[in-house]
Amino acid sequence: MEKILRIVLDKIIFGITLFILGIFMILYSLTFPKVRMGEKIVTGPSFFPTIIGTLLVMSGIYIIISNLLQKERDYKKQKTFINTSFINNEFFNFLIFIFFIALFPTLINQLGFFIGSFLFCVILMKRLNVSWINIILSSLIIVIFTWIIFGKIAFISLPPGAIFSR
């Protein structure tokens, strides 16, 4: 029973962490400058962080509520399938992901969008034990689609990198 309560507490703490991180992202995105076209305020740099923050808040609330409402007998059924080291590994992966998100702007400023984004995807997918063929293909697809959406459709200048602009 003690192991089950620890698992539930780990999941609730994870949900609270997601919720707090989402609130932080939303509040921080409010400090971004507004983009104006004439008298209208249009979508600017705060749009994407606000969406991600909102998704994190909703995910945190869902995880907290679903674990509080789940009945004890449901946990007993899951007891044989859940390993506490797996849950700790999930939380560790979450922390690594947050660290790399914080490091990402520096990475693309130094290496450029294409190489930095590709390395970012490769490192995170390798941490999640994805096969090498899937890592390479997924990373290429993500970088190409991101370049098409932001570079070609939205006409946003992507960083060339300090290494390549010298």
pLDDT at 66 (0 to 100): 84
pLDDT given at position 77 = 54
- pLDDT of res. 74: 58
What is residue 76's predicted lDDT score, i.e. its pLDDT? 54
Domains identified in the chain, total number: 2
- The per-residue pLDDT for range 1-49, each reduced to its tens digit, is 566 666 667 778 888 888 999 999 899 888 888 777 778 777 777 778 8
Do 88 and 158 lie in a common domain? yes
Tell whether 153 and 114 lie within a shared domain: yes
Residue 47, pLDDT score:
79
Instruction: Report the candidate in 42, 161, 37, 40 with the shortest Cα–Cα distance to residue 107.
Output: 161
Q: Are residues 96 and 73 in the same domain?
A: no
- Per-residue model confidence (pLDDT) at position 134: 93
Instruction: Tell me the helices (H) and strands (E) count for the chain, helix number first.
Output: 6, 2
For 130, residues 6+ apart whose C-beta sits below 8 A from its C-beta are 138
- Same-domain status, 129 and 54: no
Cα-to-chain-centroid distance, residue 79 = 28
Q: Are residues 67 and 97 in the same domain?
A: no
> Residues in the chain with pLDDT < 50?
80-81, 85
Range of the domain at 121: 83-166
Residue 131 backbone class (left: φ over 0; alpha: ψ -120 to 50; beta: rest): beta
The C-alpha atoms of residue 19 and residue 25 are separated, in whole angstroms, by: 10
